[in-house]
Amino acid sequence: MARQHPEEPTLVEQAIEEIKAMGKQGMDHPSTRPVLIGGGVGAAVGLVLDAVTWPVGMFAGAAIALLMRVRR
């Protein structure tokens, strides 16, 4: 799958850069709190549902929150 504009970073590249920035800035980074909250919500959903475990829910919730932050 070829990109339309090679100078524009892909969603994965943007997510990686966001994760690096969150790692460097910690709680001061604007995306850290929403991603942590997304992970907590996902873990809670994983505890309630029998279909997924809490670690899977936590990862999914954090990933969704991160992608929502990167796509904006």
44 — phi, psi (to 5°)?
-65, -40
- How high is the pLDDT of residue 72? 78
Between CA 6 and CA 28 the distance in angstroms is 31
Q: Where are the chain's structural domains?
A: 31-72
- How high is the pLDDT of residue 32? 95
pLDDT in 10s for each residue of the chain, 72 residues: 555 666 888 889 999 999 999 999 999 999 999 999 999 999 999 999 888 899 999 999 999 999 999 987
- How high is the pLDDT of residue 65? 96
pTM confidence score: 0.80
Between CA 30 and CA 13 the distance in angstroms is 18
- How high is the pLDDT of residue 13? 92
